[in-house]
């Protein structure tokens, strides 16, 4: 309904747009031939026209970012009353498929979400080399993107993405449930196992695990490998890229063993393979489970289900020295501009607007994450205090798949974990399959 | 009531021998009785060379009337399909403007790929299991609601209802019902069958059968409707005659009903075989091909290869294999069933 209404507005706006761009009378009833706004608008410096801009901007994003993106669009449309933003949102898989089809057929939106780094079909390092993305290095905000993110926002030294938010992966605790059994968030690996026992004794589940949803299967490994592998050896990513390190020959083995140790210790509810992501959110929201190892995006969902609840994200410790603990943290809500947008000025105006502290804070607050470009206007959500601490102390590493050369590595990981839980394969075999997939390169 | 059984003799006795017995029988006999047997013989006359044929040919439409429709079909379906099939010989990634010709490399990879072979195996298991179980249930249901039980119309509607729901929606529904803490396990626990509680979709040995069960639940009603239509076209007289000849219900089904149902059986078996082979939505929603790869089918695999990994050339090779499977299995099955049908007549 909403899009339909916007479409009508858009159609009206589109007919008057060319006139407006030429400095003509926008109220004129004259219709203009053709669709060619490009030629006339190309001369106008983007963003400097401010409220003079008009027209319809197209944007697409993933469904999980929808509330945050819509909040930003609302601000944008208030600032540019003559501009309409037409949006499309889809879940990860259909989004990837649609975006790629649109890009190859030249019908992609002006501004769209693209995954940071590599390792999936919609990632910036897959799309940019094909010439589909606009170089954003000339934008006023380009230099303020934190250095730690460059590895996943840039391709060959060129910046293609504006990161809106910073997300982390850790254990999200239901504070009330923790208080009820008198437990505190563990800071060492031994305390993790103790918590599992305490929870069981109290008739609760320590960590809800929804391994039926395949992307959930990787999160505990990411949380533990951040400390075990990527924190312990800062050069691990480079060594792997150079062929000097492998999954099977690294502490990924110990990481997966710890995952299974948690399983054996009864940290999870029974039948994780039959449990979906949605169910685990329910379990934590109701307090049946104390925590779930998830990304920051789950906090908003938990808060929605239990508006009075208090949820906190904390690192999942992998060793017995709390100082060694590192969290997976990565830019999210990363947006790119089409290399050949239908509305170049609007696209740039929008992406520049997204980079303002106002838009970024709105995005972060709505989406339950931190603003990607830190600013002093942001009021820290208590749920995310620990993530900010880790971020500012430089104790975060990118999500692992963002630095893998192709999507098959992640797929091997996801199905591998399911097969390990089903008792059908071994840790060594899974890691070896991942190594083989990694070796295939781009 | 013995009149039908003895009809051939009656025709011979009542009128002069004629090469169109169904037609000449009419003036001699009572109308209600002869009209019914005509239904049974109609198929025979059209199915084989018979005196009726020349008349049909005279009314035939010139073949070039087909050209507009064929041209459209060729442009919209055949040509793009061939064009697409050609991609299976390339390494196109779905994104880049260039692609290289790689010959049959994609097919060779498919043959040596454990994942693809597993998908082929699971696809065939699903197709065969669905075909047998769904039609078995469908037939039993059809026989059940074809009786005089009072609520038969309501039952027919209820049993057919699942078939009109979008498969994706039923799949979401069943994913919740079959969850470890879902309704199915709750019910089993409540009636004291706690020992039968399972992780229906999370156990790799069970997941495939859970998927099959959901498909059967949804489409047994569709098979039922087709069987029911077949059953209702069987004249009452045949049942009565068989009853008078003293056949029991099982023999009556096997020797009287089954042959008359042959066209319905053909349609049902072919449709459910094809549906099972190309199965995508239910698997995708309920298990995503998991746990691990336990429920991966050719359709889910080719979707993943194309849209998640960008291996378009390889996924089109998979699609061609799937198409070949459907074509070969369906035509073998159809040919076999046609022979059955003809021999039944």
Interval B276-311: pLDDT, tens: 999 999 999 999 888 989 999 999 999 988 888 888
In a mutational test of the B interface, the residue from A271, A281, A436 whose CB has the highest number of chain B CBs within 10 Å is A271
State how far residue B159 is from chain A, nearest Cα, in angstroms. 28
Q: Are residues A37 and A86 in the same domain?
A: yes
Per-residue model confidence as pLDDT tens digits over A258-314:
999 999 999 999 999 999 998 999 999 999 999 999 998 888 889 889 999 999 999
Q: What is the DSSP secondary structure assignment for residue A113, as one 8-state letter?
A: E
In a mutational test of the B interface, the residue from A121, A216, A274 whose CB has the highest number of chain B CBs within 10 Å is A274
Per-residue pLDDT band for B56 (boundaries 50, 70, 90) equals low
Residue A80 has what pLDDT?
92
- Residue A416: which of A260, A268, A278, A281 has the closest Cα? A260
Residue A5 has what pLDDT?
43
Q: Considering only CB atoms, which chain B residues are within 8 Å of A408?
A: 309
The ipTM (two decimal places) reads: 0.72
Residue B23 has what pLDDT?
40
Distance CA B67, CA B75 (A): 12
* Highest mean pLDDT (candidates A19-28, A159-168, B83-92, B334-343): A159-168
Residue A35 has what pLDDT?
38
Kindly state the average pLDDT of the residues B204-227.
94
Q: Are residues A430 and A337 in the same domain?
A: no
Q: Are residues A18 and A146 in the same domain?
A: yes
Residue A71 has what pLDDT?
93
Q: Are A312 and A302 a contacting pair, CB within 8 Å?
A: no
Measured in degrees and rounded to the nearest 5, phi and psi for residue A403 equal -110, 10
Per-residue model confidence as pLDDT tens digits over A41-70:
433 444 444 557 889 999 999 988 888 999
Residue A184 has what pLDDT?
93
B175, B179, B292 member nearest A415 (Cβ):
B292
More confident residue, A92 or A80: A80
The chain B residues in contact with chain A (CB within 8 A) are 94-97, 175, 178-181, 199-204, 287-288, 290-294, 304, 306-310
Secondary structure string (H, E, C) spanning A248-274: CCCCHHHHHHHHHHHHHCCCECCCHHH
Burial class (CB in 10 A: 0-12, 13-18, 19+), B338: middle
Q: Are A391 and A166 a contacting pair, CB within 8 Å?
A: yes
- Residue A173: which of A305, A315, A317, A268 has the closest Cα? A315
Q: Domain span at residue A122?
A: 2-166+331-382
Q: Considering only CB atoms, which chain A residues are within 8 Å of B308?
A: 93, 96, 120-121, 407, 411
Q: Considering only CB atoms, which chain B residues are within 8 Å of A125?
A: none
Residue B28 has what pLDDT?
41
- Residue A419: which of A430, A410, A409 has the closest Cα? A430
Per-residue pLDDT band for B223 (boundaries 50, 70, 90) equals very high
Q: Quick check: helix, strand or coil at residue A174?
A: strand
Kindly state the average pLDDT of the residues B317-345.
87
Report the share of chain A in percent with pLDDT over 90. Answer: 61
In a mutational test of the B interface, the residue from A131, A273, A436, A442 whose CB has the highest number of chain B CBs within 10 Å is A273
Per-residue pLDDT band for A37 (boundaries 50, 70, 90) equals very low
Q: Are residues A213 and A294 in the same domain?
A: yes
Q: Quick check: helix, strand or coil at residue A206?
A: strand
Instruction: State which H helix or E strand residue B314 sits in.
Output: helix B312-344
Question: Does residue B50 surpass a pLDDT of 80?
Answer: no
> Could you count the other beta carbons within 10 Å of the beta carbon of residue A140?
10
Question: Does residue A30 surpass a pLDDT of 50?
Answer: no
Residue B100 has what pLDDT?
85
B304/A411 CB distance under 8 A:
yes
Distance CA A37, CA B40 (A): 71
Q: Are residues A363 and A390 in the same domain?
A: no
Number of A:B CB contacts under 8 A?
Answer: 93
Q: What is the DSSP secondary structure assignment for residue B61, as one 8-state letter?
A: P
Kindly state the average pLDDT of the residues B226-248.
88
More confident residue, A388 or A192: A192
Q: Which residue of B has its CA nearest to A269?
A: B180
Locate all alpha helices (DSSP H) within B150-280, ordered by sequence.
Answer: 152-160, 167-177, 183-190, 204-232, 236-244, 249-252, 258-277
Residue A17 has what pLDDT?
38
Residue B55 has what pLDDT?
53
Q: Are residues A147 and A250 in the same domain?
A: no
In the block, residue with structure tokens 């809106």: A164
Q: Which long-range contacts does B239-246 make (Cβ < 8 Å, 24+ apart)? A: B240/B1, B241/B1, B241/B2, B241/B4, B241/B5, B244/B1, B244/B2, B245/B5
- Residue A158: which of A140, A133, A141 has the closest Cα? A133
More confident residue, A15 or A284: A284
Distance CA B168, CA B170 (A): 6
For the domain that residue A395 is a member of, what is the CATH number? 3.40.190.10
Q: Are residues A49 and A23 in the same domain?
A: yes
Q: Are B175 and B286 a contacting pair, CB within 8 Å?
A: yes
Residue B57 has what pLDDT?
57
Distance CA A189, CA A224 (A): 10
Domain count, chain A: 2
Residue B133 has what pLDDT?
97
Question: Does residue A2 surpass a pLDDT of 50?
Answer: no
Q: Are residues A318 and A352 in the same domain?
A: no
Average pLDDT, chain A: 86
Residue A148 has what pLDDT?
77
Kindly calculate the radius of gyration of chain B based on its CA atoms and give it in whole angstroms: 26
A272/B204 CB distance under 8 A:
no
Per-residue model confidence as pLDDT tens digits over B118-156:
999 999 999 999 999 999 999 999 998 888 888 888 888
Residue A368 has what pLDDT?
80
Structure tokens, A348: 């740039």
B290/A100 CB distance under 8 A:
no
The CATH code that applies to domain B108-344 is 1.10.3720.10
Report the share of chain B in percent with pLDDT over 90. Answer: 43
Lowest mean pLDDT among A147-151, A304-308, A339-343, A382-386: A147-151
Alpha-carbon dihedral B217, B219, B223, B225, rounded to 10 degrees: 100
Q: Considering only CB atoms, which chain B residues are within 8 Å of A130?
A: 95-97
State how far residue A284 is from chain B, nearest Cα, in angstroms. 15
Residue A49 has what pLDDT?
46
Which are the contacts of A121, defined by CB distance < 8 A and separation ≥ 6? Answer: A96, A97, A100, A407, B94, B307, B308, B309, B310
B97, B175, B292 member nearest A424 (Cβ):
B292
Per-residue model confidence as pLDDT tens digits over A185-214:
999 999 999 999 999 999 999 999 999 988
B200, B287, B291 member nearest A421 (Cβ):
B291
Q: Are residues A150 and A14 in the same domain?
A: yes
Q: Are residues A311 and A421 in the same domain?
A: yes
Q: What is the DSSP secondary structure assignment for residue B74, as one 8-state letter?
A: I
Q: Are residues A195 and A130 in the same domain?
A: no
A93, A270, A425 member nearest B308 (Cβ):
A93
Helix count (H) and strand count (E) of chain B? 18, 0
Residue B240 has what pLDDT?
86
In the block, residue with structure tokens 């649109």: A102
């Amino acid at each position: 309904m909403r899009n339909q209404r916007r479409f009508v507005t858009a159609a009206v706006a589109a007919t008057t747009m060319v006139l407006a761009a030429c400095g003509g009378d926008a109220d004129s009833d004259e219709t203009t031939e053709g669709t060619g706004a490009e030629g006339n608008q190309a001369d106008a410096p983007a963003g400097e026209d401010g409220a003079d801009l008009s027209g319809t901007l197209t944007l697409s994003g993933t469904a999980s970012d929808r509330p945050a993106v819509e909040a930003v669009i609302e601000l944008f449309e208030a600032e540019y009353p003559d501009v309409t933003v037409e949006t499309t949102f889809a879940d990860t898989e259909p989004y990837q498929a649609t975006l790629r089809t649109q890009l190859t057929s030249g019908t992609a939106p002006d501004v769209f979400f693209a995954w940071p780094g590599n390792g999936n079909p919609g990632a910036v390092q897959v799309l940019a080399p094909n010439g589909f993305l606009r170089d954003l290095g000339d934008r006023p905000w380009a230099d303020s993107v934190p250095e730690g993110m460059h590895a996943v926002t840039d391709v060959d030294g060129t910046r293609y993405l504006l990161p809106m938010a910073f997300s982390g992966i850790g254990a999200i605790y239901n504070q009330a449930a923790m208080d009820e059994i008198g437990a505190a968030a563990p800071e060492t690996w031994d305390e993790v196992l103790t918590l599992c026992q305490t929870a069981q004794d109290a008739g609760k589940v320590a960590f809800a695990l929804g391994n039926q949803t395949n992307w959930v299967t990787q999160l505990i490994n990411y949380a533990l490998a951040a400390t075990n592998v990527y924190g312990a050896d800062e050069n691990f990513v480079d060594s792997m890229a150079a062929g000097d390190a492998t999954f099977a020959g690294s502490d990924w083995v110990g990481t997966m063993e710890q995952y299974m140790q948690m399983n054996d210790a009864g940290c999870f509810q029974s039948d994780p393979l039959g449990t979906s992501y949605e169910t685990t959110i329910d379990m934590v929201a109701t307090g049946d489970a104390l925590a779930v190892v998830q990304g920051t995006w789950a906090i908003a969902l938990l808060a929605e289900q239990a508006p009075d609840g208090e949820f906190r994200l904390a690192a999942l410790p992998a060793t017995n020295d709390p100082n060694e603990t590192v969290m997976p943290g990565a830019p999210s809500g990363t947006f790119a501009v089409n290399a050949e947008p239908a509305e170049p000025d609007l696209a740039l105006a929008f992406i520049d607007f997204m980079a303002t502290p106002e838009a970024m804070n709105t995005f972060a607050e709505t989406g339950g994450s931190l603003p990607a470009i830190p600013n002093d206007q942001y009021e820290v959500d208590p749920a995310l205090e620990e993530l900010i601490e880790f971020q500012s102390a430089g104790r975060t590493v990118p999500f692992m798949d963002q630095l893998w050369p192709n999507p098959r590595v992640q797929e091997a990981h996801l199905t591998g974990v399911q097969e390990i839980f089903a008792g059908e394969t071994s840790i060594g075999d899974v890691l070896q399959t991942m190594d083989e997939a990694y070796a295939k390169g781009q | 009531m013995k009149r039908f059984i003895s009809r051939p003799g009656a025709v011979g006795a009542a009128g002069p021998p004629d090469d169109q017995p169904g037609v000449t029988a009419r003036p001699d006999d009572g109308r209600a009785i002869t009209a019914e047997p005509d239904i049974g013989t109609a198929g025979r006359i059209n199915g084989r060379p018979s005196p009726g044929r020349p008349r049909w040919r005279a009314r035939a439409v010139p073949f070039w009337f087909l050209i507009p429709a064929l041209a459209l079909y060729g442009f919209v379906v055949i040509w793009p399909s061939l064009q697409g099939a050609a991609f299976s010989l390339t390494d196109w990634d779905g994104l880049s403007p260039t692609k290289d010709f790689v010959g049959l490399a994609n097919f060779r990879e498919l043959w040596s790929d454990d994942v693809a072979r597993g998908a082929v195996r699971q696809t065939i298991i699903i197709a065969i299991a669905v075909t047998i179980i769904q039609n078995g249930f469908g037939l039993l249901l059809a026989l059940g609601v074809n009786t005089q039980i009072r609520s038969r119309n309501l039952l027919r509607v209820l049993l057919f209802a699942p078939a009109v729901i979008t498969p994706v929606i039923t799949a979401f529904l069943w994913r919740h019902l079959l969850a470890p803490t879902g309704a199915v396990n709750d019910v089993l626990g409540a009636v004291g069958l706690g020992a039968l509680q399972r992780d229906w979709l999370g156990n790799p040995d069970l997941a495939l059968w859970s998927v099959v069960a959901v498909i059967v639940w949804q489409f047994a009603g569709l098979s039922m409707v087709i069987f029911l239509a077949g059953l209702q076209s069987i004249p009452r007289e045949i049942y009565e005659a068989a009853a008078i000849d003293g056949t029991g219900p099982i023999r009556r089904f096997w020797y009287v009903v089954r042959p008359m149902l042959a066209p319905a059986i053909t349609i049902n078996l072919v449709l459910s075989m094809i549906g099972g082979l190309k199965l995508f939505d239910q698997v995708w929603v309920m298990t995503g091909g998991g746990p691990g790869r336990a429920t991966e089918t050719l359709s889910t695999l080719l979707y993943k290869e194309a849209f998640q990994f960008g291996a378009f050339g390889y996924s089109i090779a998979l699609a061609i294999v799937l198409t070949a499977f459907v074509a070969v299995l369906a035509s073998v099955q159809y040919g076999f069933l046609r022979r059955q049908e003809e021999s039944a007549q």
